Structures are given as structure tokens and as C-alpha cells.
């Protein structure tokens, strides 16, 4: 297990400074009854829901309560009572079951904040949480509650459900938050066995959409060597950008890479002792990593060793990829000279269906523009509509430069409205709190004073920086990074401040 006992541990239980979990949820049958219909609950989550009223009530928050987690030198505090649990089921609220199209839930959704029809959709999710057709916003509401259960003695059962949710819900943000929560929960609870189960669950491409640093941390902590597939999939993380052969000839590249690993390391995978010693690991800097998506418990990040800052690690892997790139290039040239063309490479496009040429989708453009225009009086909704337009036009950037210009336009437009978005978001939060009749004046005032700003990431910053850097317009790219750093500093999003600070430095180095 190597470093296993020093990081994740080998015990089945852990000593964590936290209070006993709240009363177990009392859903013993497979349903909860509302006024007019029986609402079914999937067996997997019957005792993983939080209920705020009625005979099944199991949520009794304690204001300003804090739990301190400590494990092998890591220490972080989780605060409770600042916000209500967003997944909290209030059975007195009306629910409308409908077959009509229902508006998607807002950003940072809560059960209480849903409309009756949206609650109907959410209960359909509770009946089958593995229905991939249901909007990811509803899945996040359920997931918020599962995160809170990670802080109780039901954490392992919650992780089992989260693993199954990851399998069917491919949203990148969902994959990132769930991976972070599982890995860092296992770190705090010393559960190496669950980390191994998590790694074994990664059998679909979308399930790898989370921090490459945390993936490497798991591998390192468990003493699991890096495979050729790991190295090839994470090539960009090691700053290897010559990916044309990886994309066009993946089978050949993997074959040659595997041979090079055996030749260099005398094994079919790369052992960590050849890449990073324990002493090297201890000297690595840390990066702040968010633990939870749930706004009511997320107020801290955890410092995690940044493996990808190791020059020795990155250089070894980069050199290996560079050699493989040159070997593949030579093999393809030799095959061509021998008259074999690309037929010997079973990954060659000649053995695949012809790639469909990209055709501009005018119908989709009209729909996206219509959604954007309809949201002109609601900045936050227009923000998400703008992201869709940015993605849409960027897809067609190689067809005509005008589409890249349109992408740039909507990126800049979105950034110009960030102050307006923040004001509108805070005002809506204020109205939501004032509308809650069950709060006492003191509670209402406290919640008003604790309103946080809109904390979503702004894809337009990264997209613009990438576009300008590719065009070698380094001054504009640096300016975008400065804007991003200033904005994220204003809302105290430290992880993204660091990301753009590092991006800025890299661009300055390239400019020089």
C-alpha cells in the first residue's frame, strides 16, 4: 500500500470530532403521502433525505454549530446553521404532478424555492434518482442532502448512492463536486477501501471529469502505479500539448506508450517511487480544494498537496509522452513508405465511419438567441443563456472566423454584466428570506446579514483567455486574467484566483 497508512489510513473507522447525527429519517414504507397523491421514494435514499416538518421530521439544526475534522495533519472546520439545508423537504408545500414541460430550477436550487410543478419533477427524481433525463438542477438538490449525510455515520451509504449517481449523471460540475466530496471524506475518515472502490467505479469517460490532482493523489496514496491509459488521458495535465496522434491514432499511441513504459521502468505501469519520494511529497505546496457544493456546510476548503507542481514528476511524464509522440510519428512514416498507408493502425480513420462534416446549425442558433433575448430582464438567467451561446459559437470557430468573433462578443457581454448579476442575485436572496413567514424577526435579520454573493464560476474568463493565448494576443489574454482575478477576489473565490494567477504567469512566460 506504500504511502497508504500515512494518508488515507487502513482503518474501517475514524475518530472525527463531530456530534452525533440527527434523528434517523422515519420513512419506513416506500412512500410519503401528500394531500392528493402518494409520493414514492426510491429504496436507496429512503433514509438519506432531510425532512423539516410533519411526522417524518428529522432535521433539527443548531445555529452556529461547528464540526472540526482532523486527519494526519489536515484540519478543517465545517460550519452549520448559516443557511437552511437546501434539500430540506417541507411536506406542507404544494406539489403539482404534470406531464407538461417545466422550467428548469434556478442556480443554487433549494426544495423550498421550487414552484409546485418543479417540486413535482423533483419527486419524480426521488422515485428514480438514476433517471438521466431529469435536469441536473434537481439532482443537485438531492446531492446537497447526501453531502450533509457524509458528515454523519451514514456517510458510507451516502457514498454508495453518490457513486451510482455519478454513473448516470454526466454533468461536469456534478462529477467534480462528487469526486471531491468522496475523496476528501475518505481522507478525513481514513477509508482507503472506499477510495479503491471509487477508483474502480471510473469506467466511463465522463466520470474522469474531476481534479487531475485528486486523481493522482488517490493513486499515490494507495501506492497504485500510473498506467499507460492514465498517462495518455492526463497528457494535458503534464503540459503535453502535442495531442494530434493521441486524438487521431489513440490505439497506436497507447500501444507505443505501453512499450516505452516497459522499456524505461521494466514494468507495465510506472511505480511512484520512480517519480516522487515521500520526502518530495512532503515538500510539495498545497492547493485549496472545495469540499462541498452544499451552501449550508461548504464555508471551507481543504488544503491538498499539489502533485502537479512537482517538476520531477511532470518532466518524467512529459519526456515519456514526447518520446512516444516521436516514435508514433516515425512508425506512421515508415508504414506510409512501405505502402501500408494507415490500414495497419486499427485506430486509423480509414477503419472507421467517415467523420461527418460540421454544418452550422441555424435552427439551434435561433433557439439560443431567443432564450437569450427572453432573459434580457433577468441577468442571472441571461448569464446561463450567454454561456450556451458562447459554447455554440466556439464549436463552429473553424468554419468561419465570424463565429469566433461572436463567441468573443458574448464572452465580453457576459463579463460586462457581472455587477448587475451580483446585485440581482443578492436582491432575490433578500426577497426570498423576507417571504419566509416562519422566521422570527431576529432569525430573518440574521439571515439577511449572512447573504452571500453569487459564487458561480464565469466560463467567459477562461474561454477568452484561451482564445487570445492561441492567437498569440498575450496582452489581451493577460488582461482577461487580471479581470478574472479582480472579480474572483471581490467574491473571495480563492481556488479560481489561484487558477488565473497561475494562468497569467504562464502566459507572461510565453510572451517573454
Task: Write the DSSP assignment of 15-76 as a string of letters.
Answer: --B-PPPPPPP---SSEEE-SSSEEE--GGGTTS--B-SSTT------TT-EEEEEETTEEE
Helix (H, G, I), strand (E, B) or coil at 134: coil
SS3 431: helix
Helices and strands in the chain: count of H runs, count of E runs: 20, 6
Please provide residue 302's backbone torsions phi and psi, each rounded to the nearest 5 degrees.
-120, 135
More confident: 437 or 315 = 315
pLDDT digits (tens, 9 = 90+) for 46-56: 999 999 988 88
- Residue 420 C-alpha from the chain's centroid: 26
Quick check: 454 and 380 in contact, CB under 8 A?
yes
Question: Residue 312 corresponds to which cell in the numbers above?
Answer: 520531477
Which backbone phi and psi does 76 adopt, to 5 degrees? -150, 155
* Res 312 pLDDT > 70: yes
* Integer angstrom CA distances of residue 127 from 29, 42, 87, 122, 487: 13, 5, 15, 9, 40
Residues 12-43 have pLDDT tens digits of: 433 333 333 333 333 333 344 444 456 789 99
For residues 280 and 408, what is the distance between their CA atoms, to the nearest angstrom?
42
User: Which letter does DSSP use for residue 470 in this model?
Assistant: H
pLDDT higher for 301 or 348? 301
In sequence order, what are the residues at sequence separation of 6 or more whose Cβ sits closer than 8 angstroms to the Cβ of residue 155? 149, 185, 189
Q: Is the pLDDT of residue 162 over 90?
A: yes
Which grid cell sits at 456? 458561480
The three-state (H, E, C) secondary structure of 167-202, written as one string = HHCCCHHHHHHHHHHHHHHHHHHCCHHHHHHHHHCC
70 falls in which pLDDT band (50, 70, 90)?
Answer: low
Per residue in 418-463, pLDDT tens? 998 888 888 888 887 887 767 788 888 888 888 888 877 788 999 9
C-alpha dihedral (426, 428, 434, 437), degrees to nearest 10 = -140
pLDDT at 19: 33
Exposed/middle/buried for residue 84 (C-beta within 10 Å: 0-12, 13-18, 19+)? buried
Q: Is the pLDDT score of 151 beyond 50?
A: yes
Q: What is the DSSP letter of 226?
A: B
Strand, helix or coil at 95?
A: coil
What pLDDT is stored for residue 62 in this prediction? 63
Q: What is the mean pLDDT of the chain?
A: 82
User: 117-143, pLDDT tens digit by residue?
Assistant: 999 999 999 999 999 999 999 999 999
Percent of the chain with pLDDT over 70: 84
Mean per-residue pLDDT, 183-190 = 83
Q: Is the pLDDT of residue 188 over 50?
A: yes
State the pTM of this model: 0.63
Looking at per-residue confidence, does 380 or 229 come out higher? 229
Amino acid at each position: 500500500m506504500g504511502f497508504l497508512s500515512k494518508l488515507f489510513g487502513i482503518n474501517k473507522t475514524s475518530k472525527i470530532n463531530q456530534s452525533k447525527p440527527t434523528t434517523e429519517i422515519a420513512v419506513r414504507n416506500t412512500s410519503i403521502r401528500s394531500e392528493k397523491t402518494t409520493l414514492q421514494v426510491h429504496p436507496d435514499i429512503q433514509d438519506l433525505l432531510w425532512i423539516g416538518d410533519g411526522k417524518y421530521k428529522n432535521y433539527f439544526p443548531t445555529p452556529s454549530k461547528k464540526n472540526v475534522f482532523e486527519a494526519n495533519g489536515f484540519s478543517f472546520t465545517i460550519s452549520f446553521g448559516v443557511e437552511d439545508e437546501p434539500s430540506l423537504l417541507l411536506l406542507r408545500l404544494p406539489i403539482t404532478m404534470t406531464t407538461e414541460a417545466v422550467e428548469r430550477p434556478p442556480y443554487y436550487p433549494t426544495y423550498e424555492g421550487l414552484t409546485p410543478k418543479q417540486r413535482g419533477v423533483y419527486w419524480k427524481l426521488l422515485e428514480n434518482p438514476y433517471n438521466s433525463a431529469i435536469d441536473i438542477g434537481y439532482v443537485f438538490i438531492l446531492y446537497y442532502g447526501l453531502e450533509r449525510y457524509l458528515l454523519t455515520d451514514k456517510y458510507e451509504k451516502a457514498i454508495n448512492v453518490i457513486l451510482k449517481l455519478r454513473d448516470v449523471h454526466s454533468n461536469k460540475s456534478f462529477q467534480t463536486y462528487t469526486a471531491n466530496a468522496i475523496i476528501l471524506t475518505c481522507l478525513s475518515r481514513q477509508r482507503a477501501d472506499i477510495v479503491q472502490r471509487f477508483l474502480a467505479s471510473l469506467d466511463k469517460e465522463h466520470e474522469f471529469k474531476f481534479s487531475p490532482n485528486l486523481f493522482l493523489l488517490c493513486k499515490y496514496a494507495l501506492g497504485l502505479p500510473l498506467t499507460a491509459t492514465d498517462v495518455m488521458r492526463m497528457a494535458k495535465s503534464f503540459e503535453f500539448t502535442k495531442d494530434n496522434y493521441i486524438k487521431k491514432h489513440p490505439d497506436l499511441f497507447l500501444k507505443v506508450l505501453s512499450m516505452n513504459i516497459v522499456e524505461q521502468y521494466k514494468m507495465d505501469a510506472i511505480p511512484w517511487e520512480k517519480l516522487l519520494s515521500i520526502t518530495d511529497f512532503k515538500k510539495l505546496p498545497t492547493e485549496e480544494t472545495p469540499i462541498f457544493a452544499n451552501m449550508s456546510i461548504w464555508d471551507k476548503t481543504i488544503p491538498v498537496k499539489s502533485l502537479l507542481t512537482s517538476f520531477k514528476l511532470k518532466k518524467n511524464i512529459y519526456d515519456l509522452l514526447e518520446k512516444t509522440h516521436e516514435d508514433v510519428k516515425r512508425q506512421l512514416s515508415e508504414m506510409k513508405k512501405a505502402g501500408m498507408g494507415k490500414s495497419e493502425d486499427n485506430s486509423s480513420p480509414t477503419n472507421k465511419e467517415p467523420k461527418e462534416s460540421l454544418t452550422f446549425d441555424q435552427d439551434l442558433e435561433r433557439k439560443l438567441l431567443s432564450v437569450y433575448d427572453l432573459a434580457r430582464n433577468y441577468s442571472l438567467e441571461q448569464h446561463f443563456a450567454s454561456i450556451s451561446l458562447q459554447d455554440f459559437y466556439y464549436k463552429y470557430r473553424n468554419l468561419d472566423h465570424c463565429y469566433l468573433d461572436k463567441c468573443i462578443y458574448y464572452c465580453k457581454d457576459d463579463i460586462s454584466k457581472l455587477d448587475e448579476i451580483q446585485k440581482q442575485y443578492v436582491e432575490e436572496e433578500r426577497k426570498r428570506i423576507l417571504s419566509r413567514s416562519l422566521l422570527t424577526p431576529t432569525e430573518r435579520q440574521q439571515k439577511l446579514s449572512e447573504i452571500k454573493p453569487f459564487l458561480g464560476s464565469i466560463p467567459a474568463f477562461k474561454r477568452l483567455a484561451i482564445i487570445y493565448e492561441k492567437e498569440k494576443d498575450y496582452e489581451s489574454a493577460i488582461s482577461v486574467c487580471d479581470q478574472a482575478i479582480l472579480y474572483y477576489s471581490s467574491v473571495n473565490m480563492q481556488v479560481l484566483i489561484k487558477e488565473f494567477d497561475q494562468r497569467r504567469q504562464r502566459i507572461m512566460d510565453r510572451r517573454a
